Chain A
């Protein structure tokens, strides 16, 4: 995760790609990660499917349902990752809802994440006040729990959350759920400026980022972008190469 802070210092922007583990079968995951790494993404967020993903829009929910239908579980994903022997140069982040973690056991989850080479974890329905449920175990194994801030996060709360942030902070660009969006509001730009001025770690914008215009709008106010639904959809449609311009628009300072 230290690497992400170095990236920030160098002025380059980060691109974090989200994929749903096991959409199309768990044996696809490895290839997807290798592909994204080769395309030049900064980090990869690996989503664990859940029966009730209330923070997600239809694209990710449907991908999750397809993965569940394939029998994908948290345990299987972590085991799969543990067995990878290719050269992995970028951080892997696990994104999961809280319930599978509780059922698996928070302590064991932290341990298995470590064995699987996971650098950070995102749990969207684990708010700041309840993080003691999981965070101490992650800390013990050297894994970062990523903090989320949103347009509705109040000022005092923002200070508290940013005070605890490590790795990067996930700044949610919409008041809503994940999904492909047409437009982002000007309000978002102001929000990103505020967060960035207060954050001790890089600020990455996520939720709804799917177009070059979104990147252009926020480029100067954030340290990176997290793209989910657009990638999940592209993989599902077998058109992942269509995403490359979006990735390069972020990672290559002067895209050709």
Chain B
């Protein structure tokens, strides 16, 4: 597959957009795109190791080139001047030699090059013919240049690059002005160019994406072989249960009689007035037994486990909400329950730890790593690998290997289905905007799923920006993450350039996870759902607002959705409708509120 080089990068934003390219070019020659070695080093540090860092020079001194190679560091050097073969030989990394090709003499020069790669720079080419200068590709057609050494540049953009690749099958295409708007690089154009050339990055893997389990190219079953049997059994059991009327009746009976559904869609009169924009409605998952949406999923999976003959349950928990929901349902259905929870979260969420113990669950403290949700999932997975024959892993969000993301979404979709009926009933039409917070993404996907086909409904997922998305302390996976595999799924992750997963940070323990459910990554990828990030501080301010205006103390997680709703509402009119998913109530966060909001007048 043809590789992509984005050349003339100067700003961080564009370097990030180029992180899925194969090479990034930094120009050291006099040019409006010129940068210093120090600037290039800072930009290069933001790129994954897999991206080649190429320095572009025109008749520079060897010292300057060597200094840049060492300090940036550069993995390749590209020369546009009259550099000699000796000069090329003195460069310790791979060399690209560039040639402007106008006639057969230029082709001869290019054929004689001793460089690792030759770059054909054909300025002003117009692949579509017609206006502008057309380059005579037949000149190259006769040249004895190995396509594996050939890089094509000059006048390329997302529209004509396909034709360049078809006619020359080069090793790499190089673009600069073709991804600019008014002389500046354009992050969107960079991404589109890369996508155009590479197609779906997982398209290279067609054939792996067998049947189900993928949302676009995200998801899958990336688990050790020991778990494959359990994952496949679960897939089969769920497929069958899903269409079984008795199973569904049982599940809905528990939702009604035990959880207390359906939950109201409350019109928030004072919030509507305060924001001065759309009519605001709140979906009241805070009223569920145990205080959050998590129980919708826990009941569904526990019933499925029993159906599969498994009476032991292992779960992970961050905030403790999912742990409490699981412990609750295990008490009700007489199942054995082990919950892994990070030591740090145990400290933050004392009350929920006690609730789980009171309900008869065994709470295992996880001291490894960051001692938060990610590490709790690791331990739960290890426990599952070891006890897989009689234990069900009751995962708490729309994460993990297939079928978990689909199954959790289905069990949470009761939120969106009810909301849809309720708003049609109250307003006679669909809402304009729906917001929900995103940790792993279960309340959000449950809310969004029944509306995904309704193009008029704007869907906004809200992640935790912690202390800010430009600090190292946030949990904004969709905003800042990159693609990778963790806990069984191909998704987006907070990770370093070596593929080591990083710690996430949020004041809200339930959003503190460095990955995000694969379906959300897909919905972002196809542009159906927007994802925004809200800081700790903004979320806390919204806790106060919702408490005082509506008499509803929200969970910290849910407060993120409220904070973003306020921003969204500011640009909406009074004839519009906005719905917020209040995923849980604030009881579990009272200690944090007491500490952070102390002195509140």
The chain A residues found within 8 Å of chain B, CB to CB, are 50-52, 54-55, 57, 61, 68, 73-75, 98-105, 108, 124-133, 148-154, 157, 172, 175-177
Contacts and interface: CB of A to CB of B under 8 A. Distances in A.
Contact of A127 (B223, B369, B389): B223
A127 B221 contact: yes
Contact of A125 (B210, B224, B386, B483): B224
A101 B499 contact: yes
A51 B484 CA distance: 13
B501 A177 contact: no
Contacts of B500: 50-51, 68, 73, 100
Contacts of A149: 225
A64 to B, nearest CB: 10
Contacts of A68: 500
B514 to A, nearest CB: 9
A130 B220 contact: yes
B205 A132 contact: yes
B374 interface: yes
Given A152-B229, A172-B226, A103 B498 contact: yes
Contacts of A128: 225, 228
A124 B378 contact: no
Contact of B48 (A57, A103, A132, A157): A103
A225 B351 CA distance: 48
Nearest to A129: B210
Nearest to A57: B382
Given A99-B485, A133-B208, A127 B225 contact: yes
Name, among A131, A172, A175, the residue most crowded by chain B CB atoms within 10 Å (CB to CB).
A175
B133 interface: no
B222 A127 contact: yes
Given A99-B495, A152-B228, A177 B385 contact: yes
Interface in B487-519: 487-488, 493, 495, 497-502
A100 B208 CA distance: 19
Nearest to B213: A129
A150 B223 CA distance: 13
Contacts of B39: none
B208 A175 contact: no
* Max chain B Cβ within 10 angstroms of own Cβ: one of A51, A68, A131, A152: A51
Contacts of A99: 484-486, 493, 495, 499, 501
B225 A153 contact: yes
A102 B226 contact: no
B386 A153 contact: no
Given A75-B49, A133-B205, A177 B386 contact: yes
Interface of B: 48-50, 202, 205-208, 210, 220-230, 232, 368-369, 374, 378, 381-382, 385-386, 388-389, 482-488, 493, 495, 497-502
A3 B516 CA distance: 44
Contacts of B483: 102
A175 B485 contact: no
A54 B382 contact: yes
A55 B385 contact: yes
A103 B226 contact: no
B49 A103 contact: yes
A104 B484 CA distance: 11
Contacts of B222: 98, 125-127, 130
B235 to A, nearest CB: 12
A153 B499 contact: no
A130 B488 CA distance: 12
Query: Which among A74, A152, A172 has the highest number of chain B CB atoms within 10 Å?
Result: A152
Nearest to A76: B498
B49 A104 contact: yes
A153 B205 contact: no
Contacts of A172: 225-226
Contact of A129 (B221, B368, B389): B221
Contacts of A130: 205, 208, 220-222
A175 B50 contact: no
Contacts of B223: 125, 127
A172 B228 CA distance: 13
A156 B495 CA distance: 37
A105 B50 contact: yes
A172 B388 CA distance: 15
A84 B385 CA distance: 37
A140 to B, nearest CB: 13
A177 B385 CA distance: 7
A229 to B, nearest CB: 14
A131 B208 contact: yes
A108 B495 CA distance: 19
Given A98-B485, A99-B486, A152-B228, 16 more contacts: A52-B378, A73-B498, A99-B495, A99-B499, A102-B483, A102-B499, A103-B484, A103-B495, A124-B224, A125-B222, A127-B222, A128-B228, A133-B202, A152-B226, A172-B225, A176-B386
